[in-house]
Amino acid sequence: MEQIVLQLKNSRKRRLLMDLLAELDFVKVTSVIRDGRKVAFANELVEALLEAKADERGEKKLQSARCFLKQG
């Protein structure tokens, strides 16, 4: 299963998008985030996960937790 996060530029189109997604039998809408703080947190979380996956593939070198904790 894959997840895709979307940001709507025009919130008035939300109903149209939700109706379209409801017609697709291979899509399941699990949550809708409207709170600006939650949206920012979700974006940062997705970015962190993408960085972790890049580290796992060897495309990016992340700092170890031990080094991070020593600096803090």
pLDDT digit string (tens) for 9-55? 888 898 899 999 999 999 988 877 777 788 788 888 888 989 999 99
> Predicted confidence band at 59 (pLDDT cuts at 50, 70, 90)?
very high
Residues 6+ apart with CB under 8 A from 51: 60, 62
In this prediction, residue 72 has a pLDDT band, given cuts at 50, 70 and 90, of low
Inter-residue contact 56 to 19 (CB < 8 Å): no
DSSP assigned state of 12: G
pLDDT reported for residue 16: 93
Instruction: For the chain, give the longest Cα–Cα distance.
Output: 51
- Give the residue, 68 or 33, on which the prediction is more confident: 68
pTM for this prediction: 0.50
Q: Do 40 and 50 form a contact (C-beta atoms < 8 A)?
A: no
- Residue that is written with structure tokens 């703080």 in the block: 37
